């Protein structure tokens, strides 16, 4: 253990002497944590809408005012024909077209039936779907208000009163959903990238040969490479929890001890992956490209931005082989739902198996020979 202690001292000195590595550990995660939740807005706003009002009635103006007051839409132009409005979409100056037919108000109040035309630019599928969804909801709400005005007062008391309650995120704040997943990504990046780069750097500097000729055992060398970044990744996770509380007012509802125990097990898997990549890489550039390849897959199939249940069946099978999927699920369950250890047993078991398999492969692949 004395040998391990001295090697750990050497590793920590080597880490803190490397200024770019210090920036990666402490500065980069903080900047990402501050920028991404504010920039990656899941709400689509400032949707440009081209209007064709062939009725020019009080009712059409009320509906237009309701649409603009929602905060999601802005009137980019008012046209006299559909052909002119379509030209705006072709020039990318409008995202939707809303056309009111002639005699819109008269038919609506006399016949209780009328139609409006909504044309959506679907080049950007997400923006088109959400923009059309917002607009249809606003029109439906306006339609319900008109129906209540047309009915006699005695008939307004009936029907089903539907009230919804959103659990664990009452205000539907996307930051509350995003930040736990972002914490998992930051911990993965710090643990995986730095472990891989640290060992490969020894190869590039030639110090790995000096270590190999010493009586240091393989397990001592591997632990000396894993423990420092295991501690530093815990610091990054702690900083993320503190920033989440100070900036976004997110307080973990579950037990922090359970959260840290899970993160520590997960870090064994991530650090093992970095160690495995370092054993097969000869340069830092090569290690970065390999780790970047895995990070892209981890993020896309981790459920951070796209729900896994919405993915194709083949992608869901691949997602089960993604350790980031399990850590995002566990952090969200503990932080947002207040789940206990028994609720994250499946995620803990999966991550523990990943840690055993990946570290076993890394140890087998590392040899104290040139």
Query: The CATH number of the domain where 136 resides is what?
Result: 3.40.1710.10
Question: What are 89's two structure tokens?
Answer: 């979409």
188 and 234 assigned to the same domain: yes
What pLDDT, on a 0 to 100 scale, did the predictor assign at position 162? 52
25 and 69 assigned to the same domain: no
Question: What are 335's two structure tokens?
Answer: 């932080």
Residue 311 has pLDDT above 70, yes or no: yes
Give pTM, 2 decimals: 0.76
What pLDDT, on a 0 to 100 scale, did the predictor assign at position 147? 74
Q: Residues 178, 33, 248, 262: what is their CA dihedral angle, to the nearest 10 degrees?
A: 60
151 and 241 assigned to the same domain: no
Confidence of residue 149 (pLDDT cuts 50, 70, 90): low
Question: What are 5's two structure tokens?
Answer: 């202690």
Query: Do the domain assignments include residue 160?
Result: no
Residue 89 has pLDDT above 50, yes or no: yes
262 and 351 assigned to the same domain: yes
Domain hosting residue 257, numbered range: 2-40+170-365
Tokens 């400032």 — which residue? 46
196 and 308 assigned to the same domain: yes
184 and 220 assigned to the same domain: yes
121 and 80 assigned to the same domain: yes
DSSP 25: I
238 and 125 assigned to the same domain: no
Question: What are 347's two structure tokens?
Answer: 């995620």
CA distance 38 to 229: 28
Helices (H), the chain: 2-17, 19-22, 28-39, 58-69, 82-90, 104-111, 125-150, 174-205, 207-212, 218-248, 256-280, 284-300, 313-319, 323-332, 345-365
Query: Do the domain assignments include residue 178?
Result: yes
260 and 130 assigned to the same domain: no
Query: Do the domain assignments include residue 163?
Result: no
Q: Which of 121, 155, 189 is the last residue of a domain?
A: 155
DSSP 156: S
For the ranges 31-40, 99-108, 266-275, the lowest mean pLDDT is seen at 31-40
Q: Which of 99, 123, 155 is the last residue of a domain?
A: 155
Residue 123 has pLDDT above 60, yes or no: yes
DSSP 121: -
Query: Do the domain assignments include residue 144?
Result: yes
Helices (H), 18-103: 19-22, 28-39, 58-69, 82-90
What pLDDT, on a 0 to 100 scale, did the predictor assign at position 175? 80
216 and 260 assigned to the same domain: yes
127 CB-near residues (< 8 Å, 6+ apart): 44, 47, 95
Q: Interior CA angle at 301 toward 300 and 304, to 5°? A: 70
Q: Which of 125, 155, 185 is the last residue of a domain?
A: 155
Residue 265 has pLDDT above 50, yes or no: yes
89 and 207 assigned to the same domain: no
What pLDDT, on a 0 to 100 scale, did the predictor assign at position 156? 46
Q: Tell me how many domains the chain contains.
A: 2
Mean pLDDT of all residues in 204-217 = 75
For the ranges 144-153, 224-233, 277-286, 350-359, the lowest mean pLDDT is seen at 144-153
What pLDDT, on a 0 to 100 scale, did the predictor assign at position 248? 86
Confidence of residue 203 (pLDDT cuts 50, 70, 90): confident
Query: Do the domain assignments include residue 358?
Result: yes
Mean pLDDT of all residues in 261-279 = 92
Query: Do the domain assignments include residue 370?
Result: no
Query: Do the domain assignments include residue 224?
Result: yes
Sheet of 117-120: strand order equals: 73-78, 47-53, 96-100, 117-120
Q: Residues 127, 307, 185, 273: what is their CA dihedral angle, to the nearest 10 degrees?
A: -130
29 and 80 assigned to the same domain: no
Check: CB of residue 200 under 8 Å from CB of residue 254. Answer: no
Query: Do the domain assignments include residue 243?
Result: yes
């Amino acid at each position: 253990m004395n040998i391990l202690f001295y090697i750990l001292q050497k590793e920590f000195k080597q880490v803190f002497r490397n200024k770019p590595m210090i920036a990666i550990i402490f500065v980069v995660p903080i900047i990402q944590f501050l920028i991404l939740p504010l920039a990656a807005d899941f709400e689509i706003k400032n949707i440009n809408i081209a209007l064709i009002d062939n009725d020019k009635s009080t009712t059409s103006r009320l509906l237009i005012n309701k649409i603009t007051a929602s905060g999601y839409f802005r009137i980019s132009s008012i046209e006299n024909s559909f052909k002119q409005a379509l030209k705006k979409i072709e020039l990318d100056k409008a995202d939707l077209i809303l056309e009111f037919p002639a005699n819109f108000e008269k038919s609506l109040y006399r016949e209780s039936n009328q139609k409006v035309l909504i044309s959506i630019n679907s080049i950007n599928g997400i923006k088109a779907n959400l923009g059309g969804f917002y607009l249809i909801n606003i029109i439906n709400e306006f339609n319900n208000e008109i129906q209540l005005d047309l009915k006699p007062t005695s008939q307004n008391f009936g029907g089903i009163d539907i009230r919804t309650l959103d659990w664990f995120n009452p205000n539907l704040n996307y930051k509350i959903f995003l930040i736990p997943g972002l914490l998992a990504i930051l911990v993965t990046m710090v643990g995986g990238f730095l472990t891989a780069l640290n060992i490969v750097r020894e190869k590039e500097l030639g110090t790995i040969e000096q270590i190999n000729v010493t009586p240091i055992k393989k397990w001592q060398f591997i632990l000396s490479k894993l423990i420092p970044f295991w501690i530093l990744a815990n610091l990054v996770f702690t900083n993320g929890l503190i920033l989440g509380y100070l900036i976004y007012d997110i307080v973990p509802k579950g037990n922090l001890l359970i959260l840290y125990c899970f993160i520590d097990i997960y870090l064994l898997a991530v650090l093992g992956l970095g160690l495995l990549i370092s054993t097969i890489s000869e340069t830092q550039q090569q290690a970065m490209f390999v780790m970047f390849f895995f990070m892209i897959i981890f993020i896309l199939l981790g459920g951070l931005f796209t729900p896994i249940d919405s993915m194709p069946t083949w992608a869901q099978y691949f997602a089960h082989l993604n350790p980031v999927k399990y850590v995002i699920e566990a952090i969200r369950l503990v932080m947002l739902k207040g789940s206990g250890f028994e609720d994250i047993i499946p995620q803990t078991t999966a991550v523990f198996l990943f840690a055993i398999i990946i570290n076993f492969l890394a140890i087998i692949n590392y040899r104290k020979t040139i």
